[in-house]
Every structure is written in structure tokens, then in C-alpha cells.
Chains A and B, each alone.
Chain A
Amino acid sequence: KAGVTQTPRYLIKTRGQQVTLSCSPISGHRSVSWYQQTPGQGLQFLFEYFSETQRNKGNFPGRFSGRQFSNSRSEMNVSTLELGDSALYLCASSWLVAAGANVLTFGAGSRLTVL
């Protein structure tokens, strides 16, 4: 069965622009969680969605937002991009809510470069 699909895989933006990243979970998985990975900060939890509702949010500014659709696909948006937003953005899906307490399947990531 298909894995977790993230699009786009690579993108380049300039400061001040906004970006939308997409994540399609494994069929049947209803939880999607998002993570940011940078060389300086490592992996950090952004947020988790389950049944179209945000269940938890990490310590990121309001420029980072997300949503989940009825088919469990999720998008995250970053507005007013800053250089420090350059990172690998990963999503993961699981059957149940509470990403930290369930086996996760990760996507390949979207690598964002902000110039």
C-alpha cells in the first residue's frame, strides 16, 4: 500500500513569501503530525491533526499553521517566510490520535530553502 506522500519534495522561496506543503497519509490513517528539522535545532514537533481538528501544537509562531481535510490529507502553511524557516519539513501518519503514543510512518519530507 502507498506510503505517506509529501509534496513538493523541494522548493525555493524568498523572504516574505508564503508556502503551502501537502501530506497525504497512509490510507486509513487519521492522524497527521508535522515536524521541522534544521541543523541547529534538530527535529521539532509542529502540530498534530486528527479528524480535521488540531490536537496539539508545538512552540512555533502563528506564522505556522495547518489544516486537515475530510480525507485526512493535511496541509501546512508558513506565511511571511524568514531565512530561519529553511528546513526539512516532515509529516507522519498513524492510525490513532496522539502521535507520541503510536507507531508513526514518515513521509520523505519537503525541503524548503528561503533566500
Chain B
Amino acid sequence: KNEVEQSPQNLTAQEGEFITINCSYSVGISALHWLQQHPGGGIVSLFMLSSGKKKHGRLIATINIQEKHSSLHITASHPRDSAVYICAVGETSGSRLTFGEGTQLTVNP
């Protein structure tokens, strides 16, 4: 079993839909990261959180430390949101990141 599990692996939505991507982890962490990767490889950090909830524009990230679970929500999805979304956890020591397998999101117009 991977230390970081994401679901779903693939997600297709229509423009305007509300999207949720889930991440579960099995280790103690210092922080959890949500990353976005577009075709071509570049990675952008969306959120880093260790408790509660963060919001940036149409994106919302939540984390439940007791349940070892995080969700990334996209409201009013748009075709430009199409990308791979990756959950990563920082080990308790803080240095090493362990990554989930990613969720391929496709938003159709």
C-alpha cells in the first residue's frame, strides 16, 4: 500500500462542475502539498497546509489530521483547470516529500 493514495486517478467533468480530488496518507506529516502539473511537465504549488482549510480563487483545500485525509475542491471548473493534480506529504522531519500518483483532470467545454 502506498503511503499516499489519491482518488480518483482520472476525472472528466463538464465546464462549471464542482470537482473534488481526495488524498489519504498513512504516515505522520509536517505538511501536505497540492501541486498542479500541466502537459510539458512544469509543476506549480497550489497549497501547503498542515491544518484546517485554505482557499485561493476557485480552489479550496482541506485537511483532517486525525483522519489523515485531504481534499482539493475546484468550484466552477474551467477547461484551463485540465491538468494533473498531485498530493504530496512532507515527512515529520520535514525534508522528504512523498507523492501520490496524481489525478488526471479533464474539463470539457
Contacts and interface: CB of A to CB of B under 8 A. Distances in A.
A2 to B, nearest CB: 15
B96 interface: yes
Given A43-B99, A45-B97, A37 B41 contact: yes
Contacts, number: 78
B90 A43 contact: no
Interface stretch (A66-74, A78-86, A93-101): A93-101
A88 interface: yes
A43 B94 contact: no
B95 interface: yes
B99 A101 contact: no
B45 A33 contact: no
B43 A56 contact: no
Nearest to B102: A42
Interface residues on B, range: 20 to 34
Contacts of A113: none
A55 interface: yes
Contacts of A48: 95-96
Interface string A53-68: 0011010000000000
B89 interface: yes
B94 A101 contact: yes
A102 B41 contact: no
B92 to A, nearest CB: 9
Interface of A: 33, 35, 37, 42-45, 48, 55-56, 58, 88, 90, 92, 97-106, 108-109, 111
Interface of B: 29-31, 33, 35, 40-45, 48, 86, 88-91, 93-102
Given A99-B94, A104-B48, 16 more contacts: A33-B97, A35-B97, A43-B99, A48-B95, A56-B95, A90-B41, A90-B43, A98-B95, A99-B96, A100-B30, A100-B93, A103-B45, A105-B45, A106-B42, A106-B44, A106-B45
